[in-house]
Amino acid sequence: MDQNNKKVDNQKRLTISDVANALGVSKSTVSRTLSGNGRISEATRKRILQYIKEHNYTPNFIAKSLAESKTFNIAAVIPRDYNLVDLPFFQECMIGISEYASSQNYDVFMCICYEDDMSQLERIVENHKVDGVILTRTLFDDKKEQYLLEKKVPFATIGTSINKEVIQVDNDHREACKEMTSYLIMKGFRRIGLIGGSETHIVTLNRYRGYEDAHKEHGLSVDKQIVYMNAQNSITIEKYAMELVKQDVDVIVCMDDSICTNVLKVFKKEGIKVPQDIKLASYFNSTMLENRTPSITTLQFNIKELGIEACRALFSRINGDMNCSKIIKKYEVILKESTK
C-alpha cells in the first residue's frame, strides 16, 4: 500500500480516542465538542474542530449517539387497517417525513399498528430504538397517544388531536370543506348528500363541521336524512350512494377519494351518469381520482408538506420546544366537470 492510500485509510479509522490523544485532551472533551454540550473553553473547542477538519474526521454514529444519548432514529406509525386507496396519502406523508429526517441526519422506522394492537410500537419504544414518533392518523380514543404520553416519548401527530398536550400538524379540513360546500350552495344546489368515513377518526368530524358551517352561513339547515357516516367498505358505500339517488339529491359529496372511487364504480354499474343524472364531488383528492371521466371536483392538499411539517414539529419537541403545533392553511378547491 502506498503512503497516500495509507493516509486515507488511517483517516477513515480515526476515532475520538485518536483525536484526544493527538491533542492531549480527554475523550469526554472531544465528545462534548462534537455534541455542542458541556462547558469547554473556546480555544480548546477551536483546536479540536481544526484538527478534525484537517484530518477529515467523520464521527461514528454509534459513538455520537452514546455521547448525546440519542439514537438518531424516529418512527412513523402507519395504521394497519388502511385501505389500498389510502396508500397514496401515507406514501406522500412518508416522503415528507423521510426527506426532513434525512436533512437532520436521522433515519426513519416504519411502524405498523392496529387500533387495538400497538405491540410493534411498544417494542420500539421499550428497546429505546427511537428519539421520537410521528402518528399518521388521529383517533378520539387514541391508545397510542396515551401510551407515548405515559412513556414521555416526544411525538407529533399528522391530524388533529383532542389532547391539547399533543403536538399536532394538520390541514385546515374544516375551512376547506366549508369553502367547497359553500361553492356548491352558491351554484344553486340545496340537497347536498354526504357520505362520510369512520366517526372514530377526528378528520371525519372536522370535515363534517365544514359541511355544517357552510349550511349555517347560507341560512340553511342540514338534512340529516341525506347524511350517511361510517361508510367503510364498498357494500356500505354502494348502499348509501343508491339511497341518496333515490332521495333525489342535487349532488353527492364524498368525504374522501376512497369513497368517491367506490361511488363512481356503483354509478357505472347502475348506468347512472355524472354530471347528467347527478353531480359528484370529493373532499379529498389523490392519484385515485386522476384521469377520471368525467373529471371530479375535489379539494387538493399538499400531503408531502404535511409530512415535512410534522417531522419539523417533532424535532422542535425533541429539542425542547413545547409550542410547535401547526395548522396548514394551504388548500385548493379544484372545480371540474362532475359538478357542472
How does pLDDT run across 135-194, given as a tens digit for each residue?
A: 999 988 889 999 999 999 999 999 999 888 899 999 999 999 999 999 999 999 999 999
pLDDT > 80? residue 314: yes
Residue at a domain's end among 68, 85, 116:
68
Q: Which helix (H) or strand (E) holds 12?
A: helix 3-12
Of residues 238 and 1, more confidently modeled: 238
Who's near 134: CB < 8 A, 6+ residues apart? 74, 75, 76, 77, 97, 155, 156, 157, 158, 310, 311, 314
The closest of 171, 138, 176 to 155, measured between CA atoms, is 138
314, 167: one domain: yes
User: Do 92 and 150 share a domain, yes or no?
Assistant: yes
Query: What letter represents residue 12's amino acid?
Result: K
**CA–centroid distance for 195 within its chain:** 23
- 107 and 247 both lie in a single domain: no
What CA dihedral angle connects 52, 53, 55 and 59, to 10 degrees? 50
Same domain? For 48 and 13 the reply is: yes
Q: Are residues 24 and 116 in the same domain?
A: no
Q: Which domain holds residue 125?
A: 73-171+303-331
Confidence of residue 323 (pLDDT cuts 50, 70, 90): confident
Pair 167, 307 in one domain = yes
Q: How far apart are CA 169 and CA 161, in angstroms?
A: 9
Report pTM. 0.74
Boundary of a domain, candidates 18, 39, 68? 68
Q: Is residue 101 over pLDDT 70? A: yes
Half-sphere exposure of 190 (CA within 13 A, CB side): 3
Q: Give me the CATH number covering residue 250.
A: 3.40.50.2300
202 and 269 co-located in one domain: yes
Q: 247 and 314 share a domain?
A: no
Q: What is the mean pLDDT of the chain?
A: 87
Whether 197 and 105 map to the same domain: the answer is no
Q: How confident is the model at residue 61 (pLDDT cuts 50, 70, 90)?
A: low
Q: Mean pLDDT, to the nearest integer, of 59-76?
A: 70
CATH code, domain with 63: 1.10.260.40
> What is the per-residue pLDDT for 57?
66
Same domain, yes or no: 44 and 81: no
Task: Summarize pLDDT for 261-283 with one digit per residue, the tens.
Answer: 999 999 999 999 999 999 999 99
Q: Give the Å distances, CA to CA, from 3 to 8, 10, 12, 53, 319.
A: 9, 10, 14, 20, 44
